Amino acid sequence: MKITKEPRNSSMYALLTKVQLSAFIFTFVLSFSGYSQSKEASVTSIDGHIFQPTAVKATDERVKNLKVPEGYKVEVFAKDLNQPRIIDVADDGTVYLTRREDFDLMMLKDTNGDGKADTQKTIWKKDQLHGMDVDGDKIYLITVNKVYVANRKADGSIDEPKMIIDGLPEAGQHPNRTLAVGPDNKLYVSVGSTCNACGETSEKNATLLRADKDGKNVEIYAKGLRNTIGFDWYPVTGELYGMDHGIDWLGDEDQKEELNKLEEGNNYGWPYIYADSKYNPADKPPKMSYEAYAKKSTEPEFLLTAHAAPMEMVFYKGKMFPQKDKNSAFLALHGSWNREKPVGYKVVKIVFEDGRPTGFEDFLTGFLVENEKSQFGRPVGIAEHTDGSLLITDDSGGMVYRVSYKN
């Protein structure tokens, strides 16, 4: 299905984001007739900011100043990669990543075990390629509209991928599709919204889809999800968690990023309801009140600072890190552009206690420099290596970082 609707405020956004170095302040006055108890029009004023720290080079000196907790070590696994995004590791230690600028799949290998990739090779190219997941001897790949599967060869390269799903809806504002094979042996596909906040014309936008691994029986698993790039299954219970991107232009402190427990059939509220049943003042539900729509929506498990831009997340199952990290999730935060004081630009740990998330802790920080006016890294992908270390992609500096732990 073709979707021609443009993202809200798209012309203004395109104009403003040409300027990277200065902070802008806008006050939006929203006038609307809500479906709440009051029938009178109401006015809501919202201050919005644009500030994107200037990208600077990831020099050796800056990399040395990256911070991880005591006992951990961060080093460069690979560099000069030109926008590496999604990353995964096969059982034999072969590392795969996608690149947004080149729209390709790369294979990286550390053949001598020194913690650095000494082989970097492009093994497939496809326009709009982004998401990728390794599942045993197969690798699943996704573009905006199509899902592919390929067999992995003994040398780490792949056979020509076979298309198994076609006709995913158009992307609009969120073309960065992701996918993963779940513990139920089903394929899960994240399809973001076409816009910041709007009523979609395709029911498959702003959803998490589920399908058989051969691409058959595609269905909507959960909806009301603006853009859930990162999701993974809690190893203890098998429950699925995902981080959803909040709506822009609701001020510096809203909409907060949401950690959701993703369950079949649930609606997570976008674009009308967010956080603890807050109402989006710019969009009203069709044919019902905010209150009625909130009752149909599932509230998040936990909230993170607005505009931090959560990307990939992975629950830690390895043996290298301390026991306290076992079954915690690690989350890459790409960093903000729609608030005055920058946030994100780091990796955090999502702490779980007694089977429930209890908070976020800084894990890898230091990418913001020069009084937070500049940055030399924006984390995107995160994966656990076979040795238990974590690999983290940075699409601004073109790096893959490796975080290890030594007793």
189 closest CA partner among 128, 231, 226: 231
The Cα 191–Cα 168 span in angstroms is 8
Return d(Cα 289, Cα 301) in angstroms, integer: 24
- Beta strands, E only, 273-335: 273-274, 278-279, 302-304, 310-315, 329-333
Query: CB 278: neighbour CB atoms within 10 A?
Result: 17
Q: For residue 400, give every residue at least 6 positions away whose Cβ sits within 8 Å of its Cβ, in sequence order, or none.
A: 76, 77, 78, 79, 81, 84, 87, 95, 97, 108, 117, 391, 392, 393, 394
Q: Tell me the C-alpha distance between 365 and 240, whole Å.
A: 27
Q: Is 10-405 a domain of CATH 2.120.10.30? A: yes
Per-residue confidence (pLDDT) for residue 42, from 0 to 100? 58
Token digits for 54? 């200037």
Look at residue 340 in the predicted model and tell me its pLDDT: 82
Q: What percent of the chain has pLDDT over 90?
A: 78
Please state whether beta strands 54-55 and 72-78 pair in parallel, antiparallel, or not at all (unpaired): unpaired
pLDDT value of position 202: 95
291's enclosing H/E stretch is helix 290-296
Report the pLDDT value the prediction gives residue 44, as an integer from 0 to 100.
62
pLDDT for residue 129: 98
Q: Which two tokens stand for residue 219?
A: 């269905």
> Would you list the domain boundaries of the chain?
10-405
Q: How many CB atoms lie within 10 A of CB 117?
A: 22
Report the relative pairing of strands 72-78 and 399-405 from DSSP bridges.
antiparallel
- pLDDT reported for residue 255: 84
Q: Residue 152: CB partners within 8 Å, gap ≥ 6?
A: 90, 94, 134, 137, 138, 139, 158
The end-to-end CA distance of the chain, in Å, is 54
β-bridge pairing 374-375 and 379-384: unpaired
Query: For the range 276-282, what are the long-range contacts, defined as Cβ-Cβ under 8 Å and sequence gap of 24 or more?
Result: 278/254, 279/34, 279/36, 280/197, 280/247, 280/250, 280/255, 281/30, 281/32, 281/42, 281/44, 281/46, 282/30, 282/32, 282/197, 282/249
Write the DSSP assignment of 144-160 as a string of letters.
SS-EEEEEBPTTS-BPP
Cα–Cα distance, 198 to 192 (Å, whole number): 12
- Count the alpha carbons within 13 Å of 133 in the hemisphere toward its beta carbon: 25
What are the two backbone dihedrals, phi and then psi, of residue 178, each rounded to the nearest 5 degrees? -130, 165
Q: Which residues of the chain have pLDDT under 70?
A: 1-46
- Report the DSSP pairing between strands 162-165 and 147-151: antiparallel
Sequence-separated contacts (24+) of 17-20 with Cβ below 8 Å: 17/50, 17/52, 17/337, 19/50, 20/52, 20/54
Q: How many CB atoms lie within 10 A of CB 214?
A: 11
The whole-number pLDDT of residue 338 equals 81
Q: For 268-292, how does the pLDDT look when each residue is reduced to its tens digit (9 = 90+)?
A: 999 999 998 899 887 889 989 999 9
Distance CA 248, CA 28 (A): 12
CA-CA distance, 385 to 232, in Å (whole number)? 16
Neighbours of 47 (CB within 10 A): 11
Q: Name the β-bridge partners of 362.
A: 348
> What's the pTM value of the predicted model, to 2 decimals?
0.90
Q: Which of 175, 123, 181 is nearest to 146 (CA)?
A: 175
d(Cα 343, Cα 297) in Å, to the nearest integer?
Answer: 28
C-alpha dihedral over 337, 340, 344, 345, to 10 degrees?
70
Q: Do 129 and 123 touch, CB atoms closer than 8 A? A: no
